[in-house]
Amino acid sequence: MLDLQSFDSWVGMFAEQVTEFEIDVDTSSYRLATRFSRFHNLPELTSLLASVADFHEADASAGIPDHDGYCDAVIGKTPEFADYLQRISERADDVRHGRVRRTEDNMLKITGDGRKAALDMRLVDAKLPFTVQSKVFRCAEHAAAIFRRTMPAQSTQLIFCDVSTPKAGFNIYDELKRLLTGFGVPAAQIAYIHDAETEAQRASLFAKMRRGDIRILIGSTFKLGLGVNIQDRLIALHHIDVPWRPADMTQREGRILRQGNMNQKVEIYRYITEGSFDAYSWQLLETKQRFINDLLSGSLTARSGSDIEDTVLSYAEVKALAVGNPLVKKRVEIATELQRYQALQRKAVDTRMRIEKELSGLPAQIAHQQSVIDDCRDDIAFYQQWRAENPPESDKNKAAEQRREMRGMLQRALRAHELQPLEKELMTYRGFRIILPSNMSFRKPFVWAERRARYYIELGDTEKGNLIRIDNRLDTLEDYLEKLEESLRANLQRQADLAAELKKDEGYSEQIAHYRSELEKIDRKLGVI
């Protein structure tokens, strides 16, 4: 028996309290607060918990979709929001110094108003105009883009919002729907979980989500986060506000990170208003998640839990982004630069591989072009000789009769050969074989003229004009030769340019190493590593 007769005894054995500065509830200052920070004797505490509960971690190999971390959308302050934060700060100061009765104003009310303002200023002042600089607009923008991108797969999305549920007057649900329809999402494919009031209605709604008939479902954690199996087509989940408990986040994300989802990779978005109560909310999640991570980490050989693990760190980073911590701001800037240079490095490697591939194919292409040019020159010399031996003024009547016969034969042959699977040599004309192509449509007829090289000749819809088109093609072979030679010169120049590009030793390894080093220094200061 551990003989833990009181909570203080439990704290003395398993926990460590730390007094430190944290963001005040009004987000305008810091205050000293004593909270649980570290937890000790974790093997014993885990064993104590295991005697009454079973805990199973999600196995990534068990068919649960993957995601590349959270997509955080940080919304900048509007002037109205900045003014409201100042009023919030003054209200909190009045409450602390007793200048207002608790029945009129108190920290709970201030907290509620602050959370509403962080979500949308119109929740605290209905007279304010719409602005695109808001969570609801950014969320609708992302959701609509995903809706269009995943149209062929009929993928679905969830939007969680606890603070402002459907009711008369302004609310986030109706505003989201208004914006989504404005972005082109059909209203019939948007639903509220609150509209399904009976089990039968819920079952029908969930079936529509699984089929993709409903593409976007908006709901609260309480109504949509528990006992809802609609993961089949879910591609994205949006946290438009912040719940109080880490378990709520787990329940929300458990709707999409779940077996049976046909999407192997999904997206999870979090929307944070800069300098708002989001910072305070994320901080609460951090404190609570810290204990859960340490308790359920599974590292039974460790006597003490780490300060903040990966999941908790993500909460801390979001909090710091919202409150504008200079050090974290610098970390974000350096991390962004690191990612940029890593992207440039990947692009450089990809470019080099593409250049090598293109360069390896150019010799054969150039050799083929040279061969076609040689054949074309030979055809030009032959045609010039043919024209010299067959002047147009010789036996005009006989020539005219032959041309009439050829025109008729060509027209009949074109109709008879429509959509035939094989080529067919029709006749010899001025020393060139006239070939009917395979799979030709009579609406867009053409033929090949071939001797050494092959020449494309587009025909028209008149019998007389078609033979003239063939004449014009043969009469302008010199122009075609010029184009071939120009294309060859371009490829030779391209070959030289690519070879010179490969000799350059361009890379971004030095920049990547530098920013990695800077990032590690900041992470040490932040206690991340």
What does the pLDDT read at residue 313?
Answer: 35
Long-range contacts of 66-69, Cβ-Cβ distance < 8 Å, separation of 24 or more: 66/264, 66/265, 66/266, 67/257, 67/265, 67/266, 67/267, 67/268, 68/265, 69/314
Q: Cα dist. 146→22, 161, 241, 266 in Å?
A: 37, 19, 20, 11
Which pLDDT tens digits describe the chain residue by residue (529 residues)?
566 777 877 777 777 776 554 445 444 454 556 666 666 776 777 777 777 776 666 555 567 898 888 888 989 888 998 888 878 878 877 887 788 887 788 877 887 888 889 899 999 998 999 999 999 999 999 999 999 999 999 999 999 998 888 888 899 999 999 999 999 999 999 999 998 989 999 999 999 999 999 999 999 998 998 878 999 999 999 999 988 778 888 889 999 998 899 999 999 999 988 877 776 676 667 666 665 665 665 544 445 544 434 433 343 444 444 445 567 657 766 876 787 788 788 778 888 888 999 999 999 999 999 999 999 999 999 999 998 888 766 556 777 788 888 888 988 888 888 889 999 999 999 999 999 999 988 888 999 999 999 999 999 878 888 889 999 999 999 999 999 999 999 999 999 999 988 888 778 888 899 989 988 888 777 665 5
- List the domain range (segments joined by +) for residue 318: 1-55+276-297+304-324
Residue whose pair of structure tokens reads 């949509």 in the numeric block: 224
Domain-located, residue 525: no
Single out the residue of 215, 203, 212 nearest to residue 159, CA to CA: 215
Q: Please say whether the dihedral angle defined by the alpha carbons of residues 124, 126, 132 and 137, taken in this order, is positive or negative.
A: positive
Single out the residue of 479, 484, 498 nearest to residue 370, CA to CA: 484
- Chain centroid offset of residue 214 CA: 21
What does the pLDDT read at residue 284?
Answer: 66
Domain-located, residue 526: no
Q: Are 315 and 286 in contact (CB under 8 A)?
A: yes
Amino acid (one-letter) located at 339: Q
Residues 241 and 358 grouped into a single domain: no
Domain-located, residue 496: yes
Residues 6+ positions from 269 with CB-CB distance below 8 Å: 70, 71, 72, 73, 139, 142, 236, 237, 238, 239
Token pair for 165: 């549920």
What does the pLDDT read at residue 90?
Answer: 82
Residues 416 and 497 grouped into a single domain: yes
Q: Are 177 and 187 in contact (CB under 8 A)?
A: yes
- CA atoms within 13 A of residue 85's CA, in its CB half-sphere: 22
CATH code (residue 179): 3.40.50.300
What is the C-alpha separation between 10 and 328, in angstroms, rounded? Answer: 35
Tell me the backbone φ, ψ of residue 59, rounded to 5 degrees: -95, 120
Q: pTM for this one? A: 0.54
Residues 444 and 317 grouped into a single domain: no
Domain-located, residue 6: yes
Residues 394 and 497 grouped into a single domain: yes
The strand pairing partners of 75, in sequence order, are: 273
Token pair for 17: 């309290």
Ordered DSSP codes for 354-393: HHHHHHHHHHHHHHHHHHHHHHHHHHHHHHHHHHHHS-TT
Name the DSSP letter for residue 5: -
Residues 393 and 496 grouped into a single domain: yes
Residues 6+ positions from 204 with CB-CB distance below 8 Å: 196
What is the C-alpha separation between 209 and 217, in angstroms, rounded? Answer: 8
- Chain centroid offset of residue 348 CA: 22
User: Total domain count for the chain?
Assistant: 4
Residues 84 and 193 grouped into a single domain: no
What does the pLDDT read at residue 375?
Answer: 95
The strand pairing partners of 190, in sequence order, are: 216
Token pair for 48: 């104590």
Token pair for 199: 């089990």
Residues 122 and 137 grouped into a single domain: no
Domain-located, residue 192: yes
Q: Are 268 and 71 in contact (CB under 8 A)?
A: yes
* CA-based end-to-end distance of the chain: 37
Residues 269 and 283 grouped into a single domain: no
What is the C-alpha separation between 447 and 436, in angstroms, rounded? Answer: 5
Domain-located, residue 60: no
Residues 218 and 259 grouped into a single domain: yes
Token pair for 172: 């986030």
Residues 456 and 387 grouped into a single domain: yes
What is the C-alpha separation between 59 and 54, in angstroms, rounded? Answer: 15
Residues 173 and 114 grouped into a single domain: no
Single out the residue of 140, 155, 151, 136 nearest to residue 236, CA to CA: 155
What does the pLDDT read at residue 56?
Answer: 61
Residues 169 and 225 grouped into a single domain: yes
Domain-located, residue 38: yes
Single out the residue of 30, 22, 166, 138 nearest to residue 78, CA to CA: 138
Domain-located, residue 336: no
What is the C-alpha separation between 376 and 385, in angstroms, rounded? Answer: 14
What does the pLDDT read at residue 370?
Answer: 95
What does the pLDDT read at residue 238?
Answer: 96
